[in-house]
C-alpha cells in the first residue's frame, strides 16, 4: 500500500459495480485526490477492486468512520443513493454521487439542506455539460453566435442498456429508467444552455415486455 498524502483529498468509494471502473481508472489523472478505500454490499466485489487498484476494502460503516476518508464517492444503485449520501454527510464527509441525487425531489432537498447545515460539499453526476463541447456551446451562445435560442431537443437512440451493461436490472427498477439514468446527460446540457426548467410534460411507453441481457459480465 502506498504512503498516504496529507495534502490530497482522501476518497472512499461505495459501490464497486460496473461504473466504478470508470472512476477507478481515471482517478490517477487527478493529482489532488487519492482513492484510499472501497466498499460494496458484496465483500468479494470490494476485495476484487481493492486488489486491482491497491486500496483498502472496508465495510460501508468502517469506510464512513475512517478518518482518512474526506469524500465519499457514492456509486451504489439509485435506490440506495439517498441513504448512503445522507449517512456520509452525517459522518462529516463530503459527497459526490452518481445520478440521480435521490429518487425523489424531497429526498434531494434533504441532502442539499444537510450538506449546507454541516458546511460540506455535495455534488452529483452528470458533469458532462462541463466538458469542452458544453463549455464551447455555452460560450458561443453567450457571444450571440446563434441569436436568441427559443427551443432545444435531445435524443438518445439504442436498444436498451442490457446490450452494454452486464447487470442492468437496476435500470428497470424505481430510481432507474431513461429520466433518472440516461436523461440527466441531456437535461443538464439543456438547462446549462437554455436556463432553468419552468414546466414539465412527459409521455412514456414500453417498447419491450422482455429483455435479453447480451452484455458480457459478470460485473
CB-CB neighbours of 202 under 10 Å = 5
| CATH code that applies to domain 9-124 | 3.40.50.720
| Residue 165 · residue 215 · CB < 8 Å | yes
What is the mean pLDDT of each successive set of 10 residues along the chain, which is 219 residues long?
Answer: 71 96 93 97 97 97 98 96 98 97 96 99 94 96 95 85 82 81 90 93 85 77
User: So what's the pLDDT on residue 218?
Assistant: 58
Per DSSP, what are the bridge partners of residue 39? 14
All CATH 3.40.50.720 domain ranges of the chain, comma separated, are 9-124
CA–CA–CA angle 189, 195, 199 (5° rounding): 100
> Who's near 109: CB < 8 A, 6+ residues apart?
none
Q: Given CA atoms 185, 190, 193, 198 in this order, what sign does their dihedral have? A: negative
pLDDT at residue 71 in the model: 99
> Per the structure block, which three cell numbers stand in for 191?
438547462
Q: Report the predicted TM-score, pTM, of the whole model to 2 decimal places.
A: 0.86
Cα–Cα separations (whole angstroms), residue 44 to 72, 159, 195: 20, 31, 44
State the pLDDT at residue 1: 45
**Are the CB atoms for 76 and 52 separated by under 8 Å?**
no
Q: What is the pLDDT of residue 157?
A: 81
Amino acid at each position: 500500500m502506498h504512503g498516504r498524502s496529507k495534502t490530497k483529498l482522501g476518497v472512499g468509494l461505495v459501490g464497486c459495480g460496473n461504473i466504478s471502473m470508470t472512476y477507478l481508472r481515471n482517478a490517477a489523472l487527478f493529482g489532488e485526490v487519492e482513492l484510499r478505500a472501497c466498499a460494496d454490499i458484496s465483500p468479494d466485489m470490494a476485495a476484487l477492486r481493492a486488489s486491482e487498484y491497491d486500496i483498502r476494502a472496508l465495510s460501508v460503516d468502517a469506510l464512513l468512520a475512517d478518518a482518512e476518508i474526506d469524500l465519499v464517492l457514492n456509486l451504489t444503485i439509485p435506490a440506495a443513493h439517498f441513504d448512503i449520501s445522507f449517512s456520509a454527510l452525517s459522518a462529516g464527509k463530503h459527497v459526490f454521487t452518481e445520478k440521480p441525487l435521490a429518487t425523489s425531489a424531497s429526498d434531494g432537498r434533504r441532502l442539499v439542506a444537510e450538506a449546507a447545515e454541516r458546511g460540506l460539499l455535495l455534488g452529483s453526476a452528470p458533469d458532462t455539460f462541463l466538458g469542452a463541447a458544453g463549455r464551447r456551446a455555452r460560450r458561443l451562445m453567450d457571444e450571440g453566435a446563434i441569436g436568441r435560442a427559443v427551443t432545444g431537443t435531445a435524443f438518445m437512440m439504442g436498444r436498451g442498456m442490457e446490450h452494454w451493461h452486464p447487470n442492468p436490472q437496476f435500470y428497470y427498477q424505481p430510481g432507474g429508467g431513461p429520466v433518472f439514468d440516461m436523461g440527466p446527460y441531456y437535461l443538464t446540457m439543456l438547462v446549462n444552455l437554455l436556463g432553468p426548467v419552468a414546466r414539465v410534460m412527459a409521455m412514456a411507453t414500453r417498447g419491450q415486455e422482455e429483455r435479453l441481457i447480451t452484455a458480457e459480465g459478470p460485473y
